A = this chain, B = another copy of it.
């Protein structure tokens, strides 16, 4: 059954988040909410979602669904195959809403409650067709966070749970079926425990909200984005895994390490239950392999946040800035560089994610290396962050690359750079990329233009920079013209 029209009853933050996720996935939505400002408030969420989906995936999405603001429950639900209820968290209000829905909706329309706390058995108590009601508890922002807790009540049909899992997965979500009902389900139990402990830490003056938040987002929050509570601790247990971890930390349960002291009894039964489940969950991956997966994820997350100039990514950026500054010192002062031969501009090993399906460095990374070599050369000539900040830079206008040999992951490479011409507004660079074993891997020939960042038009470099460039050009003019310079694609050798 293909869901074409969903009714969303209640248009607060959670309801609006559902509407956004549905529309972005090409599903039509009828919204019913008695509040007069629903439409206006919802617009803010919908435009956030539009903005987010443009970035989330490069894949072509279906045409957006149509949204209709219904002026009655009847209009909203009568043609809907799926009904999402996100009204306030009071059971009397929810019971009233279900009674009205059942008056107008088809008997087989599915009803999903977004409640974060009330048990579905209690929700479905007075319904005519209770088998179609379940809880689908999402998290803010609903249009971006994958998880949705699926919880059935005593009377919920199992086929409805199966349909729910399929439907939410088709929206790009990760449905998790919580098989036993409790108030607040699973995620909010954990969040409530953190929340209560956090309130104590602030109230007792141990920390501020800022410090506490930083301790989360620069620390265990990064881990939880990729592995949960048990898999993380399984690694901490080392090769001996979960049993070792439990043996080590089980006794702490009796220690006053949280204000929250109602703890389960630590005994053999608890150890077996948890260690057994952990084996089933992660036992097929060795601890060493789990460590590598974790490390790769932590790196990728920090690099992703660096691109957004936020949180742990800012720490990484500052660290790199310091490394660049430290490393720039050796090449930043023209005097120390030997101009009598091509200048060493970069040295690195090939990172694992630079290789492609042909199991060698991807062609685009060659240009990335040459771009870095150009940057290093420019910094040496005085085009550093401060110079760019002051309003000028170099833009590459033309590139010629000869891919001469392959290079694989972790292999060490370096670049040397020869200045073919450096007078006026243009510079003409020639990079040699070498393997540490001496093989020439590639050459890059580049024309750059000095520009004003205001007008984006060509301009002259500063006097100081022109002086450095002239000095280098004068020395490099004595070097042989590199093999491949001035060559067009497919042209036979000129030199």
Q: Which residue of B lies closest to A330 (CB)?
A: B60
Q: Are A230 and B257 in contact (CB under 8 A)?
A: no
Q: Are A54 and B351 in contact (CB under 8 A)?
A: yes
> Which residues of chain B are within 8 angstroms of A300 by Cβ–Cβ distance?
304-305, 307-308
Q: Counting CB contacts under 8 A, is A479 at the interface?
A: no
A184 to B262, CA, bound (A): 18
Q: Which of A75-83, A91-99, A363-371 contacts B (4 or more CB under 8 A)?
A: A363-371
> Which A302-344 residues have a C-beta within 8 angstroms of B?
302-305, 307-308, 310-312, 315-316, 318-320, 322-324, 326-327, 329
Q: Are A183 and B255 in contact (CB under 8 A)?
A: yes
Q: Counting CB contacts under 8 A, is A4 at the interface?
A: no
- Copies in the assembly, this chain: 2
Q: Are B215 and A228 in contact (CB under 8 A)?
A: yes
Q: Are B186 and A212 in contact (CB under 8 A)?
A: yes
Q: Counting CB contacts under 8 A, is A173 at the interface?
A: yes
Given pairs A139-B219, A180-B207, A304-B353, 13 additional interface contacts (CB within 8 A): A54-B352, A57-B316, A139-B223, A172-B315, A183-B255, A186-B215, A194-B194, A209-B278, A260-B262, A297-B311, A301-B305, A359-B453, A397-B404
Closest 8 CB pairs of A and B: A213-B228, A221-B224, A260-B260, A147-B219, A307-B353, A172-B319, A300-B304, A225-B225
Q: Can you offer 30 A-B residue contacts whose CB atoms are under 8 A?
A: A13-B238, A48-B291, A48-B295, A51-B292, A55-B410, A56-B302, A57-B319, A144-B299, A146-B316, A173-B315, A176-B211, A176-B215, A187-B220, A190-B198, A190-B201, A192-B252, A193-B258, A260-B260, A261-B262, A293-B308, A297-B304, A297-B311, A300-B308, A301-B304, A304-B304, A363-B367, A367-B401, A406-B456, A447-B489, A486-B488
